[in-house]
């Protein structure tokens, strides 16, 4: 029994290492927009960070491919075709370890990952949704259609910033 | 007068663009450990994110150079010489824009930058402090000695993880 437990831990650790190398990658395309997980997105440059309370209750990082980050830094709008913005998120959890050092409850860190979202710019392919394709993946698997239908309506209020909420954090 | 104001705004914008390209860089070394701001740190890969309440009241991103990220992903401890870990932080501010879309107060984003900290691994040079040199910069300028004396004592409780608090966020 001990041996089986050890084996399972070893397999889980290995899977963790593989998955963490460049983010969880799966070949399945998300519905509606047909977006796949872009290879190597976990290595992309940081655009900004945020915390959402409520049902989401997460800490998030927004990363961008080179086209995205270049456009952000140059203040260039609309984002050029080929731009991909990735939103990673993790459960918002208090850190007892950090709080002990600070001597008070104040530290919140990234727990287990929740899901990963992508916005992909292709002004022709996605003309009906402001030039953006949207996708959401959980554990490397695409989420169902219903979720993706709400993406564009939600992003419409920031049309003046090419439908992108996140600003670059210097 | 209008012309001068325009000129100042233009200079400030230009300075902002330059500074935001790869993080604020200054050639001054921080006291005690002699650490300078590493070139291009703003382009480094993401290790994790966090939120500190209390006096800090920030959102933070922890980035690493390639040596750091490789060691993290391989679960390799102690971190090898040449590892540099960067902690960027921004004021924790509510986003009225995001909250309007969500229909409730729930969104907190990165405001103005507070300061940037670095941990630099050199097991010989910094042998007295666990092999780590510490530095803190505000607006590209190193902070005074007093602040840096508190770094190592604060990191000692996580000696088992080579004095590094942050875990890699998958």
The ipTM value here is 0.85
pLDDT at residue A114 is higher than 80:
yes
More confident residue, B18 or A129: A129
Contact at CB, B170 and A95, closer than 8 angstroms: no
Q: Tell me the two tokens of residue A124.
A: 């022709």
The mean pLDDT of B85-114, rounded to a whole number, is 96
Which residue of A46, A104, A115, A154 to mutate against B (max B Cβ within 10 Å)? A46
pLDDT at A10: 39
Among A20, A43, A158, the residue with its CB nearest the CB of B170 is A20
pLDDT at B16: 38
pLDDT at A24: 57
- CB-count burial class (<10 Å; 0-12, 13-18, 19+) for B1: exposed
pTM of the model: 0.85
Q: In three state form, how does the secondary structure of chain A look?
A: CHHHHHHHHHHHHHHHHHHHHHCCCCCCCCCCCCCCCCCCHHHCEEEEEEEECCCCCEEEEEEECHHHHHHHHHCCCCCCCCCEEEEEEEEEEECHHHHHHHCCCCEEEEEEEEEEEEEEECCCCCHHHCCEEEEEEECCEECCHHHHHCHHHHHHHHHHHCCCCCCCCC
Contact B105, B99 (CB under 8 A): yes
More confident residue, B130 or B21: B130
pLDDT at B19: 42
Give per-residue pLDDT as tens, B120-168.
999 999 999 999 999 999 999 998 777 799 999 999 999 999 999 999 9
pLDDT at residue A6 is higher than 60:
no
Q: How far is B51 from chain A (nearest CA, A)?
A: 5
Among A60, A100, A109, the residue with its CB nearest the CB of B157 is A100
Confidence of residue A26 (pLDDT cuts 50, 70, 90): low
- Residue whose C-alpha is closest to residue B161's, from A5, A113, A101, A107: A101
Q: What is the mean pLDDT of chain A?
A: 88
Peptide bond into B132 cis (omega under 30): no
- CB pairs A-B closer than 8 Å: 130
Contacts of A53 in chain B (CB under 8 A): 105-108
């Amino acid at each position: 029994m001990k041996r089986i437990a050890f084996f399972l831990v070893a397999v889980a650790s290995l899977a963790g290492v593989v998955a963490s190398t460049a983010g969880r990658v799966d070949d399945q395309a998300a519905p509606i927009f047909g977006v796949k997980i872009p290879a190597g997105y976990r290595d992309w440059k940081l655009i900004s960070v945020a915390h959402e309370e409520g049902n989401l209750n997460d800490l998030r990082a927004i990363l961008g491919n080179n086209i995205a980050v270049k456009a952000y830094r140059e203040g260039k709008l609309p984002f050029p075709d080929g731009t991909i913005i990735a939103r990673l998120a993790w459960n918002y959890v208090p850190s007892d370890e950090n709080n002990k050092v600070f001597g008070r409850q104040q530290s919140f860190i990234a727990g287990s990952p929740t899901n990963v979202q992508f916005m992909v710019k292709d002004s022709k392919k996605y003309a009906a949704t402001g030039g953006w394709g949207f996708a959401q993946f959980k554990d490397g698997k695409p989420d169902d259609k219903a979720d993706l239908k709400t993406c564009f309506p939600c992003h419409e209020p920031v049309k003046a910033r090419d439908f992108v909420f996140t600003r670059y954090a210097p």
